[in-house]
């Protein structure tokens, strides 16, 4: 049975490092972008009250997380927003409603501190080596009430050339 809680960066990070490595490999980024978490940036955001971490634990073992940066929107200063940074559940916990429960817990925690709008992201490329297509994540987000809001484009500048 999973339990969900808000945790501080200082408490969370030492145990989370192994999961972040698993997430990096699970997301298929190996060889595309070098893994290297900006620990100081997260620590600074946490110290400033701008980092929100929701954890999923089985007993006391960390099995998943959702991190979000919380700050007023840069275009709409009166609107406190949560910008999801990353979310992950170990593959053996990706069953039933565990993913939905993690995100719902984060939503409720964020709502309780006055967040008015949450932005969450999901990839359009094949993410998981377990064969589950990204549309499963998209369906989950819609199930939770999220609506598509924008399309993010990326360009690898090391490879792209103007012709």
Tens of pLDDT, residues 20-63: 988 888 876 667 778 889 999 999 999 999 999 999 999 999 99
How far is it, in rounded angstroms, from Cα 140 to Cα 146? 9
pLDDT attached to residue 131: 54
What's the half-sphere exposure (Cβ side, CA atoms, 13 Å) at 111? 6
How far is it, in rounded angstroms, from Cα 108 to Cα 1? 19
Q: In terms of Cα–Cα distance, which of 110, 87, 111, 85 is closest to 99?
A: 87
Work out the angle at residue 49's Cα, subtended by the Cα atoms of residues 86 and 45, and round it to the nearest 5 degrees. 55
Q: How far is CA 2 from CA 69, 80, 84, 99, in A?
A: 24, 29, 21, 10
Residues 144/46, Cβ–Cβ less than 8 Å: no
Task: List, for residues 130-145, the tens digit of each pLDDT value.
Answer: 555 456 677 788 888 8
Secondary structure (3-state) at 121: coil
Placement of tokens 């987000």 in the chain? 141
Task: List, for residues 71-91, the tens digit of each pLDDT value.
Answer: 999 999 999 999 999 999 999
Residue boundaries of the structural domains of the chain: 2-143
pLDDT attached to residue 161: 60
How far is it, in rounded angstroms, from Cα 91 to Cα 26? 9
Task: Indicate the CATH number of 2-143 among 3.40.630.30, 3.50.50.60, 3.30.830.10, 3.20.20.70.
Answer: 3.40.630.30
| pTM: predicted TM-score of the whole model, two decimal places | 0.85
Percent of the chain past pLDDT 90, that is, above it, reads: 61
Give the model's confidence band at 162: pLDDT under 50 very low, under 70 low, under 90 confident, else very high.
low
Placement of tokens 């998943």 in the chain? 64
How far is it, in rounded angstroms, from Cα 94 to Cα 57? 13
pLDDT attached to residue 15: 96
pLDDT attached to residue 58: 97
Give the model's confidence band at 153: pLDDT under 50 very low, under 70 low, under 90 confident, else very high.
confident
pLDDT attached to residue 25: 82
């Amino acid at each position: 049975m999973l339990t969900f809680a808000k945790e501080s960066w200082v408490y969370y990070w030492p145990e989370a490092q192994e999961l972040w490595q698993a997430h990096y490999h699970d997301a298929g980024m190996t060889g595309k972008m070098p893994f290297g978490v900006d620990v100081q940036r997260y620590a600074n955001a946490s110290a400033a009250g701008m980092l929100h971490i929701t954890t999923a634990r089985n007993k006391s073992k960390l099995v998943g997380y959702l991190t979000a940066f919380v700050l007023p929107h840069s275009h709409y200063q009166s609107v406190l927003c949560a910008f999801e940074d990353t979310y992950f559940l170990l593959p053996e916990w990706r069953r039933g409603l565990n993913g939905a429960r993690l995100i719902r817990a984060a939503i409720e925690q964020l709502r309780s501190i006055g967040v008015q709008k949450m932005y969450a992201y999901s990839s359009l490329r094949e993410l998981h080596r377990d064969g589950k297509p990204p549309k499963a994540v998209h369906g989950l987000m819609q199930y939770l009430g999220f609506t598509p809001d924008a399309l993010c484009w990326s360009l690898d500048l090391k490879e792209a050339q103007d012709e």
